[in-house]
Chain A
Amino acid sequence: MAIDYKALKNGGFMRQIQKNHFSLRLKVVGGNLTASQLRAIAEISETYGDGHVHLTSRQGVEIPFVRLQDVEAVKTALEVGGVHTGVCGPRVRTVTACQGSAVCPSGCIDTYPLAVEISDRYFGRELPHKFKFGVTGCANNCLKAEENDVGIKGGYTVDWRAEACTLCGVCVKACRAGAITQTDSAIALDRAKCNHCGRCAKACPFDAWAAEPGYLLSFGGTFGNLIARGEEILPILRAKEDVFRAADAALAFFDQYGRPGERFRLSIEREGWAAFRQYMHQHTSKS
């Protein structure tokens, strides 16, 4: 029987240079695994691999040196251990995330549940080429949002609350964008300079900055053969459903205009950024 390497690869079994050996890619969302999943992975690696695992550049785990004849047994062992196989090929890949506001003091949004929702909605969906989502909690950008085809970055929209402010001056210094100035009686925010990092609100000792969390999206990032930064073409989005509306539109655009084997970035560039912008505005504005 001929071996369908393509089907194996699509199912996460990556062919190695060693004949009949595969590096098995696992499904990981937002870089999180439970201790019990890790135990299952360790056991599979010792039983069917060579006792080591590889941590990929995108928060994934691969178990190398799985032999062809063990593929089915490994699949069963994974299922028992509550671990799923990853994907490769022209489809939506692992959704990455930093720890976000659930763990990190700098976080502006809860990244993990969002990564899970994105993964549940899009993971494995077939497209003209690979497609990566990444979610980062704040402007520190530990997760490198703009490297992704669609990057999501948490941010705050802030408003000064005069009644709570003591003009202590902490926010003026905390702001790295130079967007805040202070006079003897007031604080002024230059919204054109504000990058939504939220440092003013986080640093304020008196809660004198009202802060609304939101999502900054970037499109067309790629960091492989071609290195290009994703572009922010929409204003900060306040509602999660708007994030999904935008992501739906981006994938629909790629489906419609992308050529097989062409990254999202190149499809956008071929159609033109102006056309992409217009498409996104059309498909994300609420009627």
Chain B
Amino acid sequence: MANPVISGAVDITDVVCPVTFVKVKVALEELEDGQVLSVRLNDGEPVQNIPRSLKEEGQRILKLTDNGDQTYTLLVRKAGD
């Protein structure tokens, strides 16, 4: 898959559940439908749960990348309502 254009970024490595998901939701709010958000998240619970929660919200996950420093970068495309 070609690398998508990233329109926004949020770092949730400094917060814990449920603020993690709230921060991602707020960041998505600021984007237009179809734009892509980059999320930096911690290994463990966040990387286990954030992608799934976003899928349940109807968002489109594009890619998850291991940054090699116990963090991951998740690309998510904002879906319309």
Contacts and interface: CB of A to CB of B under 8 A. Distances in A.
A199 interface: yes
A205 B47 CA distance: 14
Contact of B47 (A105, A173, A199, A204): A173
Contacts, number: 39
Interface of A: 105, 166, 168-170, 173-174, 176, 199, 202-205
Interface string B44-81: 00011001100110001111111000001000000000
B63 A174 contact: no
Interface string B4-37: 0000000000000000000000000000000000
Given A168-B63, A169-B65, A170-B64, A199 B52 contact: yes
Contacts of A205: 51, 55, 60-62
Contacts of B52: 170, 174, 199, 202-203
A203 B47 CA distance: 11
B72 A173 contact: yes
A255 B40 CA distance: 58
Nearest to A173: B47
A85 to B, nearest CB: 40
A105 B61 CA distance: 18
Contacts of B66: 169
A166 B48 CA distance: 18
